Homo-oligomer: A and B are copies of this chain.
């Protein structure tokens, strides 16, 4: 059987908020090492990759590898029924066609369980090569969300330009042009406010704003987000998730000329 317990359901709630607008359904692959989800978004433009290590769970047991095809809208509905502080347990029998979510309040006064039908989903295994990136930028995730929101008003694509001094986000459109420059922080008063640029080589790439906006929905999962970029290679937007794993989004640059 499969059983995984987290002391706080809110991580899972936020994960669902972070994927449900990109994916209508997805397969959760459970193995001894943890839970993994990997899927192209509905439009087959970006890729979502979620990793939750087994050791990050309060309790974890997975006797046999298990692929659970899940309708994310349904799962979102169920997760909304959990209190943020509830203990969450996911359970499935080895060959079952359902998964059960159990929410327990801290004092055990309230226990609820939700059983959800699993789906058979076509799988597409995608190899993601590990790469060295020309630039890796870490910025506060709230800042990232804010930048995407602000620049979305100006155009459909956002240019990210990275030099060793910092990173610049730009957009151009009918109402004008916008540039947001973040300098690498010298004084790291609070770690979560740091802007850190690791640069081998400067890059300047364009991305579809709409996807970046969706990625930014993962901001509640982490104070910081890292953006890894190289020429002609998909951007990686990574949010670490506490002590358990990460969620990554991959998005190919727009191959446009810099005429905006």
Question: A residues within 8 Å of B by Cβ?
Answer: 71, 74, 77-78, 80-81, 98, 108-117, 143, 150, 153, 175-183, 185, 195
Contact = CB atoms under 8 A, between A and B. Distances in A.
A117 B176 contact: yes
26 contacts: A71-B175, A74-B175, A74-B176, A77-B175, A78-B175, A80-B150, A81-B150, A81-B178, A109-B183, A109-B195, A110-B180, A110-B182, A110-B183, A111-B180, A111-B181, A111-B183, A112-B150, A112-B178, A112-B180, A112-B181, A113-B179, A114-B176, A114-B177, A115-B176, A115-B178, A116-B176
Contacts of A150: 80-81, 112
A176 to B, nearest CB: 4
A78 B179 CA distance: 11
Instruction: Give this chain's copy count.
Output: 2
Contacts of A177: 114-115
Contacts of A78: 175-176, 178
A178 B178 CA distance: 48
A180 B112 CA distance: 4
Nearest to A194: B109
Nearest to A166: B109
Contact of A179 (B80, B112, B153): B112
A248 B117 CA distance: 38
Contacts of A112: 150, 178-181
Nearest to A143: B110
A177 B179 CA distance: 49
Contacts of A178: 78, 81, 112-115
Contacts of A77: 153, 175
Top 10 closest A-B pairs, CB basis?
Answer: A116-B176, A74-B175, A112-B180, A81-B150, A77-B153, A114-B178, A111-B181, A115-B177, A115-B176, A109-B183
